[in-house]
Structure 1
Amino acid sequence: MKILLTGCSGQVGWELARALLPLGEVIAVNRSQADLSDPDGLRRTVQKLNPDVIVNPAAYTAVDKAESERDLAFLINAEAPRVLAEEAAKNASLLIHYSTDYVFDGTKHAPYTEDDAVHPVNVYGQSKLAGEQAIQATGADHLILRTSWVYAARGQNFLKTILRLAAEREELNIVADQIGSPTWARLIAETTAHVLRQSLLERQQGGFSSGIYNLTSAGETSWHGFAQAIVEIARQQGTQPLKNRIINPIPTTDYPVPAKRPLNSRLSTNRLEQRFGLKMPTWDNALRLCMADMV
């Protein structure tokens, strides 16, 4: 079996390149080999490789910059997934694509389910929703995995930023009224491998059904709580000097950015767990595993 993996140098892509290896031949491509901002070139690449499975973690993820680069965000997050899905439909391939909690407006007072009404409040969320809809319209066999607050031991993310700032500053101000579930890139990759394995079996047996599934860690916290946990674990590890003494909780209004963020980013994983026989780990346990891997 041949698996085409886009965005292999990204946080999730890097982990997927390893997690998918037991399932078949993984053709891992980066932006220079499969540029999602060049739909025609992307189509030619897929046609040349003719994969059995396409796994697409590549995306335009600069949330604030997207407000001024709307066309580019939609080209990468909506048009490119449509191309991948069209090619998957032509070849009876399976497409696994990743989306985001930002398809919701964050006003619900409970975790979002896959059936809740979508209403993105920024360009990034709008582009990712357009990608979901484009994939669904092709009729290709697909799984869309919505995740949130992704971090990893490599790349640029909240975990790495807090570790750097905690080593530089005694006091930090972190938003405390946005709630979600931090999700380790390795958890996304390993869950994807499990989901793909079962989906391939379902397709062989004629029982596969396409759909959208939420994929995050269990539990919830704020960005402030996430930052506190990061610093506390780093202090326990004792592997780097920390100047930080206090982390102040602040409201979103005290940290203005170009793109509006949803206050509630919690996603229910019940549907994923029930279909694929999974139990998602809590965000704090996954964080400890990730940070232990960094030592």
Structure 2
Amino acid sequence: MKKILITGANGMLATAIKNALSGCEVYAFSSQELDITCSQSLHKNIATILPDYIINCAAYTAVDLAETEEEKAFKINALAVEKMAQIAEQYRATLIHFSTDYVFDGNVSKPYAVDHPTRPVNIYGASKLAGEKAITQVNAKHYIFRISWLYAPYGKNFFNWIAETDLEELSIVNTQTGSPTSALDVADFMNHLIHNDPKNYGTYHFTNQGEMTWYAFAKAINQKLDLNKTINPVATFKTAAKRPTYSAMDCKKTEQVFNYLTPSISDGLDRVVARYKS
């Protein structure tokens, strides 16, 4: 039975992965139980458990706050990740790490290939790219999956905000295009990977297939949950951090290497809506 160590266990993605993993011995640590910026704690837990896989779901994800907390963002998203990769290599564990579409600048009009040049437009994206590079340089057994616009039927995310806000009228930006991605689908893919590992290590993209604006996504949520809210498109929404205007990613390499069909945005949303209602 494979042993899996998961960090950031109380987060949206880790919760979904914990629930999806089958036939595994899972050791899940919240950020309070295992602070990934503490090398000693990381080393102790990995040395004790000797996991086959380390799934790192711990991250600094406050995109706007990162603009004024650059040091903290890099400490969690890059320096801690580098140490984790080094310890994973020491104990021959495979590291699975999640990055972001925000490593790209958004100045394209078709989905980003994995090898497209990176150029983050905000501190958060820069910190995640630094984490990617650190893992690659350590050269441990690793998979980096760039995911995007993550949501789930629980936790703090766009889907839940639309579903639960008391506001009857919402103004949603329609000038950013990407691929809303269900944490449930990422988690199912993680289960598939662990049981069918091709050992073809490197960087990949995993998103629900298709692309839409935040406005279109809000309208889809509104419709599927029968919320009857008024959704208005707006061209700009003032935020501290700049966002890429286009950040859909090409997942063909992932589908080919892992023999896995990534679900569409619509199918991903249907599953989340069904779980939310249940």
Pairwise TM-score range, normalised by the shorter structure = over 0.9
- 1:1-295 alignment, distance < 5 Å: 1-22=2-23, 24-165=24-165, 168-199=166-197, 202=198, 208-235=199-226, 242=227, 244=229, 246-252=230-236, 255-295=237-277
Unaligned runs of 5+ in 2: none
Report the Cα offset of residue 243 of structure 1: 5.9
Give the Cα–Cα distance (whole angstroms) in 2 for the partners of residues 210 and 40 of structure 1: 27
Q: Report deviation, 1:50.
A: 2.0
Maintained 8 Å contact 2:200/2:257:
no
| Runs of 4+ residues deviating >6 angstroms | none
Post-superposition CA distance 1:87-131 (Å, at most 9, x none): 111122111110000000111111001000000111110110010
Residue identity opposite 1:230 in structure 2: I
**What amino acid sits opposite 2:231 in the alignment?**
I
| TM-score normalised according to structure 1 size | 0.90
Residues 99, 30 of structure 1: alpha-carbon distance in 2 compared, 3 angstrom cutoff: same
- Supply the AA of the counterpart residue of 2:73: A
CA RMSD of aligned residues (A): 1.3
**SS where residue 185 of structure 2 aligns?**
helix
1:274 counterpart letter in structure 2: Q
Report the secondary structure of 2:27's partner residue: strand
1 CA distance for matches of 2:114 and 2:185?
Answer: 20
Deviation at 1:230, TM superposition (A): 0.5
What's the secondary structure of 1:61's corresponding residue? Answer: coil
User: Structure 1 regions of 5+ residues with no counterpart?
Assistant: 203-207, 236-241
Higher helix share: 1
Shift of 1:44: 2.6
In structure 2, the partner of 1:205 is: none
Find the residue that maps to 1:218 and give its secondary structure.
coil
Deviations 1:150-173 (A, max 9, x none): 0001100000111123xx233211
Match of 2:19, as an amino acid? R
Q: Distance in 2 between matches of 1:181 and 1:243?
A: 24
Question: Identical aligned pairs, as a percentage?
Answer: 41
SS across alignment from 1:3: strand
Secondary structure (helix, strand or coil) at the match of 2:266 reads helix
Give the aligned residue type for 1:191.
F
* Bigger shift: residues 101-110 or 276-285: 276-285
Confirm or deny: 8 A CA contact 1:43 1:83 kept in the other structure.
no
Residue-pair matches, total: 276
- Per-residue displacement from partner, 1:222-273 (whole Å, max 9, x unpaired)? 00000000011111xxxxxx462x2111113xx1111100011100000000
Q: Normalising by structure 2, report the TM-score.
A: 0.96
